[in-house]
Amino acid sequence: MKYFGTDGIRSTFGKSFLNENFSFALGQALGGFMKKNNIHGKKVLIGRDTRPSGKVLLDTFNQGLKENGFYGFSAGILPTPALAFGVIEKKMSMGVMITASHNPTQDNGFKFFSALGKKLTDSEEESIEKRILIKNRKFQSHATKSLEVLDSYINYISGLFPKDLLKNKRVVVDLSNGATQHSTPIVLKNLGADVHTLSSGSGAINDGVGSEHPEIMSQKVKDLNADFGFAHDGDGDRVIFCNSTGEVIPGDKILGLLAIHEDKHNRLPNKGFVATIHSNSGLDASLKERGINLFRANVGDRKVAEMMRKECLHLGGESSGHIVASKYLPTGDGLLTALLVTRACYESKKSIHSLSKQITLWPSVEGSFTVKEKIPIEDWAELNSTFQKVKGFLGEQGRILLRYSGTETKLRLLVEAVNPEKANKAYQSIAKIIEKAL
C-alpha cells in the first residue's frame, strides 16, 4: 500500500503527502468506507498525542468526515490505548488516533480502530486507501465537539489492580513529553507509588527522551535509588523497563516473565503466548522448558492481536515493548503492561530483576540499512545465495531474520545463535553483501 504501513499511516508533516489536504481526503475516505460497510452509527472518536501538527490534522480530518455525513468527537490528548478504550465505552462507530508513535516530533500519522477497539485488518486498510482522493483546498478552523474519555480510562485501569500494588515503591517514569503525561502518573499514585516523572511535557515529544532513550530513565533510577523505572513512547502503547540498578531489561525477558507468571496463576489460556518473528529464540526455548507454547506472528501489535484471537489466547507482544493483554484491552497498552509486570512482582514477592532471570536469551547481532527502494529480497541473487550459506553455517542453533521495515525505508537484519562468535560472523557476512549494494 502507498500510505498504510505496519501500524497505520505515518510520515513527516508538511514535507511529504501528509498535510491538511491529505487529512481531509482521509476523513472523506473513512466516511466512504463506513458507508460501504454499513458500519452502525455516525460517530467517530478522534484523539491525538502532543505533536504540534496534531490539532490541524484532527480539524481537517473531521471536516472530511462531515462531507460523508459522519461526525468526529475529540477526545483531546490521550494515549492510544485510552482512545481504543473510549471507542468501546462511549459506543462509538470507530476510533482514530493521530500519532506517529515513537517517531520524531516532525512526523505524524493515523491509527484506526473498530467499534470493538481493535485495529483494522490489511483488507480494511486497503479499502480505505483506495478511496483517498487528494485535492488542494483552503481550510478554515472548525471546532470539533469534545468528549471526555481520559478520566474513565484512568478509573478503569486503576480499578484492575490492588490499591496497595505499589505501596512503598519508588518508581521513575519517562513520559516522553507525550500522550501519557496526565494518565500514567495519576494511575501510579492511585496504586500507592512514590512517582518521579521525567519528560512530562516541558519539551518536544520523543526528542531525545522516552522509550527510544532508556538511558535517561536508567540514570534517574540509580540517582534516586528507585525500585524500578519504565519509559513510554509518544502515544503510550509500549513500554521499556529497567530494574533497581538501572539495567534496561530486554523486551523478550519482559514477555517471558509475564507468560511464566500468568501461567503459574492459571491466567494463560491453552498455555499459549504470542510473540513476533523478531523475538529471540531463547524466549522460545525458555518457555518450552515450562510447557508454554510460543506462537510467532508478523511484526506489529496488530498482527499479534490477530493471532491471539485466532489461537484463543489472551497474552502476546513484541520485544519492542508492545504487549497486548486482551482480557483487559483489545490493543497494546504501555501502562497496563507496566502494571501487569508490577503485579507479577507483587504476587511472587520477587523483583523484576529476579523474575527476568528466568529467561535466557541467545546472543544476537542486529542492525538496519537505509535503502533507496525496497527491492524484493527474493530478487536479490547475491544476497539470497549468501543467506542460504550462512543459514547452513548456523544450523539448528541459530536463526536469521531479514526484512524491510514497515514504517521506514530500511532493511533490517537480525542474526542470533547460541554461540556469539558464530552470530557475529554470520551477521558480518550478510551485512557485507547489503552494504556493497547500497
73/63 Cα distance (integer angstroms): 11
90/150 Cα distance (integer angstroms): 12
Whether 362 and 256 have beta carbons less than 8 Å apart is answered as no
Set of cell numbers at residue 416: 542470533
Whether 42 and 156 have beta carbons less than 8 Å apart is answered as no
Whether 238 and 111 have beta carbons less than 8 Å apart is answered as no
- Diameter of the chain measured on Cα atoms: 62
* Nearby residues of 392 by Cβ (< 8 Å), 6 or more positions away: none
23 is catalytic: no
Number of neighbouring beta carbons within 10 Å of residue 167? 12
43/6 Cα distance (integer angstroms): 26
Among residues 11, 53, 74, 101, which one is catalytic?
101
The sheet carrying 194-198 orders its strands as 194-198, 170-174, 228-232, 239-242, 248-249
Q: Indicate the helix (H) or strand (E) that contains 434.
A: helix 420-437
* Residue in the block written with cell 482514530: 96
Set of cell numbers at residue 350: 520477587
DSSP state, 250? P
289/49 Cα distance (integer angstroms): 41
Q: Indicate the helix (H) or strand (E) that contains 281.
A: helix 281-289
Q: Which residues are part of the catalytic machinery? A: 101
